[in-house]
Chains A and B, each alone.
Chain A
Amino acid sequence: MLETFGLTVRYGSLTAVAGVDLRLPDGEVLALLGPSGCGKSTLLRAVAGLEPGGAGRVCWDGADLAKAPVHRRGFGLVFQDGQLFPHRDVAGNIAFGLRMAGVRPTERASRVDELLELVGLSGHGDRKVTELSGGEQQRVALARALAPHPRLLLLDEPLTALDRTLRDQLAVELAELLRKTGSTAIVVTHDHDEAFTLADRIAIMREGRIVQTGSPEDVWRAPADEWVARFLGCTVILPATVAGGAARCAVGEVPTDAPPGGAWVGLRPAALRAAPDGPVRGRVAGRVHRRDRVRLTVRLDEPAGEVDTVDAVSGIAGAPRAGDAVRLRLDPDGAAVLTTYR
């Protein structure tokens, strides 16, 4: 089990990581999610032992790692851009950690084959790493990190350098692979989809601090505050009242576990869908085609407090045009309920 206590990293006057307490039980995959520059990669590197200027404690199973240098921690690290050893072939890269640990050549070879199969690159052992595609390089990087059975796997934006389609596909594969190997892992990412696909638990970071941790569903449905809600895609936040297991706001109701009283409802674009019989009326001010839907900007006929314009989505066929009147219905899956605003 990994624990950090008051982990802090400063660069000059800038505090990249500010007193982070983290607890990661064995077998869990934690996503550190936050915008770029929030300190999430620095936090990961501090755990790996690569930020020597850090303060606070990093512990494994209760033992302080302050005096364990990087190469004795047994934490595998995967970089955003692989950082494969250019002078070694695929098998040579994967075997690297095994050689460092003094594993015998025959054992090494069979472990390399095992990993090649695991990441779907069987038979690629003697390929040059410079000839691999970006996706293949990341698979090799992962295999290399997994080979010496690290007790913790650290993944620093492992899929960010890849193009969108490949990223989505690899995220699913990586999630399966992490479960299959029973890995304990921290994944740093700024991509929501990646975090939600990979993680058992998500920690959201802002300006060096962790502002919320929870299951993907909790974080999605109940962001800790307005900043988290907006970071997770809410473009409109409306005041609401919680009563009888639902938060009621100007555009509809969202089920919630929150205690009765004042609250806010955060709306992502997908929370409001164009529907012929929808209760909310407005007029289309703008529309943009997305891959599988049309995004609308809708001016409400009856403004909800200070809010008079909302985002909404519609199917592509028969999507309303700019200037058309439109009716919207609230879809609770796209909405979030906040009990604190700041």
Chain B
Amino acid sequence: MAWAGPGLSSRGRAGWGLVALALLPVAFLAIFFAWPVVAIIGLGFGEGAVLRTLGTGEVWRIAGFTVGQALASTALALLAGLPVAFLLARCRLPGLGVVRTLVLVPFVLPTVVVGLAFRVLLPDAQVGAIVLANAFFNVAVVARTVGGLWAHLDRRAEDAARSLGASRWRAFTSVQLPALLPAISSAAAVVFLFCSTSFGVVLILGGARYRTLETEIYLRTTELLDLPGAAAMSLLQLAAVLAALAAGAAGRRRRETALRLRSRTETARRPAGGEWWVLAAAFGVLTLLLTPIVALLGRSVSTADGWGLAGYRALLTRGADGTLQVSGLDAALNSLRTAGDATVLAMIVGTLASVVLVGLRRGAIARPVAETLDAALMLPLGVSAVTVGFGYLVTLHALPGDLRTSPLLVPFAQALVVTPLIVRIVLPVLRSVDERLRQAAATLGAGPVRVWREVDLALAWRAFLAAAGFGYVVALGEFGATSFLARPEAPTLPVAVAELLARPGELNNQLAYAVCALLMLLTAAVVTVVDRLRTPGLGEF
């Protein structure tokens, strides 16, 4: 067999290849994230709005409420999530796969849907409903992040503690808890972030009385037309988000270095003794998670005069007195199409970014670069979608072709929200591929692209499919940025729901409930299918 002569330097080519691959994700982040956000910051500083706005007591009251409700929600999510994490990680019981998937459903439900579900459940308790709804979303984050680590902790340390005379509880507090703390703090930081930037839930449940920074930015922009004031509040929020992200990153770093992990099959056991109480708590939490879902489904088929499908029939209309500019069905089709476009975009960007991140970690030079890019990719997850949507309105007119009126604007915004999620799902799987497998393929004659196809893609295709599925449902439910950007003649379903709720009328309510029920079923179906595709034990959510 003849071997080819020298080509380009392997080192130089691999390096430049990565740079070329990085261009698209970096450009995407720069244009559709950094630029709008920086523009908002500029707007805030530009007219002295920061000082003026931050000087008012109202802002601090709102900021206080934002942090307060986020802290309460985070505490509640931790409290509810830890027993579930234990259940998922440590117990060997039939049907756990279903539970694992079930826990994930609330996390990807559209915020509008959850807001409405809690309004059905608790029509009067506004603050309580906000806290409960935010916690409802994030139980999954705690359960899966902490459970993910817990399942792989070497159980022999705990056994050693027990053999040295520690009670089950003592062994937990002195051995497991310290090992879990990085995951718990990392999950807490993420949950706090989600809760403090939560938009749809607060908008629907808080009404005009209970406002967070996120809803206030929205109100000031769309209702009061106080752009500088909104920018100033975005700035305040951005600062808080960066702090929370840094805390989370610190937690993650500790987790990555410190532990020797085992496979779940080695650590799961049948529960014993007091562990049954923890399990009871976990199943209690699961029941509570189901309650709003069931309540909403029930409400969607109950009308003023008994059970009925009036709301679902109304899908073909535009609501009472033409509240919507299009029919519910058209909004649904538009939603599906938009989410599809957003998913394709996000998959391209997320895949390229993951490839670059895996490649950079391989090179000795590039660790700090990789870590920075990694963090930058996570930023859109934390920065409020409302800020981003607002930023688009301020900046994108400068691009050729005026994107602001283009049907691609919403997909771009949604893709930005979805991309970090895709990276979080795909990247850990790609990182878990032993570098030497790629090297083995290379020594057998596979070039870089061929190695990617034959090794990375062949081993991670399930993760890619799962990422696309999750990305799709999240894009489908995206509300914060979309509510800013969707044109009235082309609303997505969540936007339509918000519009319906803003106008009184039983038919409008009924239609909103029907739309939410459909969104929920669709989301649950996709999550159920997709979660089966995940590589067990990998990925963060």
Question: Which of A's residues lie within 8 Å of B, judged by CB?
Answer: 11-12, 48-50, 52-53, 63-77, 79, 83, 85-87, 96-97, 100-101, 144-145, 148-149, 151, 154
Assess whether B368 is interfacial by the CB under 8 Å rule.
Answer: no
A304 to chain B, nearest CB (A): 48
Assess whether B51 is interfacial by the CB under 8 Å rule.
Answer: no
- The answer on a CB contact under 8 Å between B443 and A87 is no
- The answer on a CB contact under 8 Å between B458 and A75 is no
- Asked whether A48 and B443 contact (CB < 8 A) given A72-B3, A79-B436, the answer is yes
- The answer on a CB contact under 8 Å between B9 and A100 is no
- The answer on a CB contact under 8 Å between B445 and A52 is no
Known: A71-B451, A75-B443. 13 other contacts (CB 8 A): A48-B439, A48-B443, A50-B443, A52-B14, A63-B5, A69-B442, A72-B3, A77-B443, A96-B441, A100-B441, A100-B446, A148-B444, A149-B1
- The answer on a CB contact under 8 Å between B5 and A71 is no
Instruction: Out of B7, B434, B443, B458, name the residue touching A145 (CB < 8 Å).
Output: B443
A103 to chain B, nearest CB (A): 9
Assess whether B57 is interfacial by the CB under 8 Å rule.
Answer: no
- The answer on a CB contact under 8 Å between B11 and A52 is yes
Task: Compute how far the CA of A261 lies from the CA of B516 in the bound complex, rounded to whole angstroms.
Answer: 97
- Asked whether A11 and B364 contact (CB < 8 A) given A52-B11, A144-B444, the answer is yes
B479 to chain A, nearest CB (A): 39
Task: Compute how far the CA of A69 lies from the CA of B6 in the bound complex, rounded to whole angstroms.
Answer: 8
Chain A neighbourhood of B1, CB < 8 A: 74, 101, 148-149
* Best-surrounded residue of B13, B363, B440 (most CB of chain A within 10 A): B440
Chain B neighbourhood of A70, CB < 8 A: 10, 439, 442-443
Q: Which residue of A lies closest to B4 (CB)?
A: A72
Assess whether B159 is interfacial by the CB under 8 Å rule.
Answer: no
B441 to chain A, nearest CB (A): 7
Chain A neighbourhood of B364, CB < 8 A: 11-12, 53
Q: Which residue of B lies closest to A78 (CB)?
A: B440
Task: Compute how far the CA of A315 lies from the CA of B206 in the bound complex, rounded to whole angstroms.
Answer: 90
9 contacts between A and B (CB under 8 A): A63-B5, A65-B6, A70-B439, A72-B3, A72-B7, A75-B443, A83-B439, A101-B445, A145-B443
A58 to chain B, nearest CB (A): 11
- The answer on a CB contact under 8 Å between A148 and B445 is yes
Chain B neighbourhood of A67, CB < 8 A: 6-10
Chain A neighbourhood of B284, CB < 8 A: none
- Asked whether A86 and B459 contact (CB < 8 A) given A66-B9, A70-B442, A71-B442, the answer is yes
- The answer on a CB contact under 8 Å between A97 and B445 is yes
Instruction: Out of A64, A74, A86, A151, name the residue touching B6 (CB < 8 Å).
Output: A64
A297 to chain B, nearest CB (A): 36
Task: Compute how far the CA of A196 lies from the CA of B14 in the bound complex, rounded to whole angstroms.
Answer: 39
- The answer on a CB contact under 8 Å between B439 and A77 is yes
Chain A neighbourhood of B8, CB < 8 A: 67, 69
Q: Which residue of B lies closest to A53 (CB)?
A: B364
- The answer on a CB contact under 8 Å between A83 and B437 is yes
Instruction: Out of A53, A66, A96, A151, name the residue touching B444 (CB < 8 Å).
Output: A96
Task: Compute how far the CA of A320 lies from the CA of B184 in the bound complex, rounded to whole angstroms.
Answer: 63
Task: Compute how far the CA of A117 lies from the CA of B9 in the bound complex, rounded to whole angstroms.
Answer: 38
- The answer on a CB contact under 8 Å between A77 and B440 is yes
Task: Compute how far the CA of A100 lies from the CA of B455 in the bound complex, rounded to whole angstroms.
Answer: 13
Assess whether B52 is interfacial by the CB under 8 Å rule.
Answer: no
Task: Compute how far the CA of A96 lies from the CA of B443 in the bound complex, rounded to whole angstroms.
Answer: 11
Task: Compute how far the CA of A66 lies from the CA of B450 in the bound complex, rounded to whole angstroms.
Answer: 21
Chain A neighbourhood of B6, CB < 8 A: 63-68, 72
* Best-surrounded residue of B363, B444, B458 (most CB of chain A within 10 A): B444
